[in-house]
Structure 1
Amino acid sequence: MLVDEFDYDLPEELIAQHPCEPRDASRLLVLERNGQKINHRHFYDLPEFLQTGDLLVFNDTKVIPARLFGIKAGSGGKVEVFLLNRLTGNTWEVLVKPGKKVRPGTVVVFSDELQCEVLSTTDFGGRIVRFSFQGIFEEILDRLGEMPLPPYIKERLSDQERYQTVYARKRGAAAAPTAGLHFTHSLLEQIKLKGVQIVFVTLHVGLGTFRPVQVHDISEHSMHREYYNISEQAACQISEAKQAGRRVIAVGTTSVRTLETAAAEDGRITSCSGWTNIFIYPGYRFKMVDAMITNFHLPKSTLLMLISAFAGKDAVLKAYRAAVSERYRFFSFGDAMLIL
């Protein structure tokens, strides 16, 4: 299957530059896989499409201010360090700019209280670095770091919390699980009152979100690994719902990837954690997910391939054409889809 099969035309003005206010006022395209019916609604209408007994699975990762700016010790050259994954203790996997000039052994100074040494390079062109600091690393990062908004967002975000979900609690992501940005505390309460279960898993969004598919044949693409965790309580709730025939609805592609990584062939999940590089594209057989909530994704992206695997490529591209025609807002701060 070729990457060009997942392309579509998108006017630049439809790329959302700021989040919708309030969160749940964004639009919602509902795509029914059986019959390929398309319905245009708003996100606050979501409870109408949920049933008593459904299980909604959210990703509770929290975005860290992952972009740091420093200078090379000695030369004074400017360096940008983008945090991806914490490996062990003070050792991180990062991206650096300019990459060619930041070799192993380089020391980057961010302030009097924080610096890092480059230890090695990675297969994806990144670096492994070890931080040294005076104080508490997370507090220093909150002071010095910037929120890592995607490059297609040109406007400055006035409220940094708008790039976090209202239920974000476990620090470690380099990007937000954007399907969750539409939920408000009030909407979550409405959903619970309808008898819908809510459960949280964790996947710290990393390099895979930013890395384009650079091969012609998508089967040759390699995903970057990301850390995930499913607690014992969450695993029990998910397995019970699946075994009982209740719908498991994933909120966002990160929740989808977490569930499908951990699910056994019989639809059971056990408590687990680790690293996943699962790449879901058409031909994949889903073991756990019955429906999903997602945003509109970039052309030729792995996320567009994932939802095409779930709903069918032709149906998805038809829905995207309808969204463009109806002037939906696209990408991280854009509108949402519910695929049933």
Structure 2
Amino acid sequence: MLAATAPIQRPLGAKLLHVDELGRMRVLPRAGLIDLLEAGDLVVANDAATMPASLQGVHAPTRSPIELRLAGRRSLASEDLHRFIAVAFGAGDYRTRTEHRAAPPHFDVGDVLELGPLTAHVEAVLDHPRLLAIRFGSPAALWAGLAAHGRPIQYAHVSQPLELWDVWTPIAGMPVAYEPPSAGFVLDWQLLAAMRHRGIEFTTITHAAGISSTGDASLDARLPFDEPYEISFTAATAINRALTRKRRIIAVGTTVVRALEHAIGGRESIRPGLAMADQRIATATRLRVVDTILSGTHEPRTSHHELLHAFAGPDTLTRMDEALNREDFRTHEFGDSVLLAKRAG
């Protein structure tokens, strides 16, 4: 067990690379984030809690062992809780790198998947033999089954089995994420209090953060999947006020960027409510809401890294990646952080 003084989400000596709008860079302790924020800034974070979305079980027709990773659903509405998109793996667990995992058995519509106390039915195979539309029974049974049998989705770079509290940010609320909105691990109540004291505004949205890797190149190329989100009236009011007053809006994580840029659409303001982020953010994207992103460090050619191209040009991102390597920044969801401003002009 990790010592209580060094939780996995907040490693001792965590670092922050600050990249400003001119591409200038400096390395700071992550605790120095507060000094990079200014009175009037609006910081927006994702308050989604992470579900235990990894389910070990058996493909009933063949009795083959499988792991099912829940990866998406059509909305955040409670009545839509029993249907999911899921990625299937064969025998094994997170200790094997995803790209080396055994393939699952062949799936057909109607197949029964026995997942501990849960039973799921295959409703469709979605253009890839490992991508399934599945259906569970009642929401109450699903929550009970997830609590009893589910585990957090985990990857081989973390050897210690994760507990659910390891993947919840301090502001976690509704359990709708499949992997943690991990940029939010930077936040703690001391930082939020300091922000309030300095006149820095803070609000949250809820975005169902999806999975970051499937182990299959053709599936990974489709990430991120469509992801539902909800923006409350309070959050929309704060964001629209910041837009009107031309205040800096800082997104904590890629999920917040995706939700806010989808929510603005072709309008001049953001509407509250439920919606589905179905766009990709990349080089050609014109950011209309977010000025700066606070993010974990992401490896080139991943969908998370691709999103950063909307903030900075290729030269800046190349220099940023070189600096992260040179300064031994930790990657993945439990590592160090980057504060990247949208390029000037």
Please tell me the TM-score bracket, short chain as reference. 0.7 to 0.9
Question: Could you tell me how far apart the structure 1 residues matched to 2:174 and 2:167 are?
Answer: 14
Letter aligned with residue 332 of structure 2:
F
Q: CA RMSD in A?
A: 2.4
Change (3 A) 1:135 1:201: closer
Question: Could you tell me how far apart the structure 2 residues matched to 1:247 and 1:190 are?
Answer: 18
Correspondence for 1:179: 183
Change (3 A) 1:222 1:68: closer
Correspondence for 2:208: 204
- The offset of 1:157, in angstroms, is 3.7
Correspondence for 1:144: 149
Correspondence for 1:63: 50
Q: Answer whether contact 2:61 2:111 (CA < 8 A) is retained.
A: no
**Does residue 97 in structure 1 map to residue 101 in structure 2?**
no
- The offset of 1:31, in angstroms, is 0.6
Letter aligned with residue 80 of structure 1:
E
Change (3 A) 1:157 1:72: closer
Letter aligned with residue 78 of structure 1:
P
TM-score of the superposed pair, with normalisation by structure 1: 0.85
Question: Could you tell me how far apart the structure 2 residues matched to 1:182 and 1:22 are?
Answer: 7
1:253-297, Cα deviation, whole Å (9 max, x unpaired) = 110111111114464111132221211111221101111101110
Q: Answer whether contact 1:66 1:147 (CA < 8 A) is retained.
A: yes
Change (3 A) 1:333 1:19: farther
- The offset of 1:251, in angstroms, is 0.5
Question: Could you tell me how far apart the structure 2 residues matched to 1:337 and 1:108 are?
Answer: 41
Change (3 A) 1:74 1:287: closer
Correspondence for 2:97: none
Q: Answer whether contact 2:168 2:180 (CA < 8 A) is retained.
A: yes
Question: Could you tell me how far apart the structure 2 residues matched to 1:313 and 1:264 are?
Answer: 26
Q: Answer whether contact 1:282 1:309 (CA < 8 A) is retained.
A: yes
Q: Answer whether contact 1:23 1:181 (CA < 8 A) is retained.
A: no
Which consecutive residues of structure 2, in runs of 5 or more, have no partner in the other structure?
1-5, 75-79, 91-103
Aligned pair count reads 315
Letter aligned with residue 210 of structure 1:
S
Which consecutive residues of structure 1, in runs of 5 or more, have no partner in the other structure?
1-17
Change (3 A) 1:185 1:281: same
Q: Answer whether contact 1:30 1:337 (CA < 8 A) is retained.
A: yes
Question: Could you tell me how far apart the structure 2 residues matched to 1:201 and 1:23 are?
Answer: 26
**Does residue 305 in structure 1 map to residue 306 in structure 2?**
yes
- The offset of 1:318, in angstroms, is 0.2
- The offset of 1:212, in angstroms, is 7.9
Change (3 A) 1:328 1:68: same
Aligned mate of 2:20, from 12, 24, 32 = 32
Aligned mate of 2:119, from 112, 115, 122 = 115
Q: Answer whether contact 1:58 1:255 (CA < 8 A) is retained.
A: yes
**Does residue 292 in structure 1 map to residue 297 in structure 2?**
no
Question: Could you tell me how far apart the structure 2 residues matched to 1:232 and 1:268 are?
Answer: 12
Question: Could you tell me how far apart the structure 2 residues matched to 1:213 and 1:103 are?
Answer: 20
Question: Could you tell me how far apart the structure 1 residues matched to 2:189 and 2:279 are?
Answer: 31
Question: Could you tell me how far apart the structure 2 residues matched to 1:52 and 1:224 are?
Answer: 36
Aligned mate of 1:48, from 16, 31, 35 = 35
1:237-263, Cα deviation, whole Å (9 max, x unpaired) = 100111011111101111011111111
TM-score of the superposed pair, with normalisation by structure 2: 0.84
Letter aligned with residue 196 of structure 1:
I
- The offset of 1:110, in angstroms, is 2.4
- The offset of 1:214, in angstroms, is 5.2
Change (3 A) 1:214 1:145: closer
- The offset of 1:331, in angstroms, is 1.7
Q: Percent identity?
A: 25
- The offset of 1:19, in angstroms, is 6.0
Question: Could you tell me how far apart the structure 2 residues matched to 1:133 and 1:283 are?
Answer: 42
Letter aligned with residue 261 of structure 2:
E
Indicate the SS of the match to 2:172. coil
Q: Answer whether contact 1:235 1:270 (CA < 8 A) is retained.
A: yes
Q: Answer whether contact 1:119 1:130 (CA < 8 A) is retained.
A: yes
Indicate the SS of the match to 1:310. coil
Q: Answer whether contact 1:68 1:82 (CA < 8 A) is retained.
A: yes
Change (3 A) 1:122 1:145: same
Change (3 A) 1:134 1:250: closer
Change (3 A) 1:70 1:222: closer
Q: Answer whether contact 1:212 1:301 (CA < 8 A) is retained.
A: no
Question: Could you tell me how far apart the structure 1 residues matched to 2:249 and 2:173 are?
Answer: 22
Letter aligned with residue 107 of structure 2:
V
Question: Could you tell me how far apart the structure 1 residues matched to 2:198 and 2:267 are?
Answer: 28
1:83-118, Cα deviation, whole Å (9 max, x unpaired) = 12234242221112244422212112223x421111
Indicate the SS of the match to 1:132. coil
Question: Could you tell me how far apart the structure 2 residues matched to 1:135 and 1:147 are?
Answer: 19
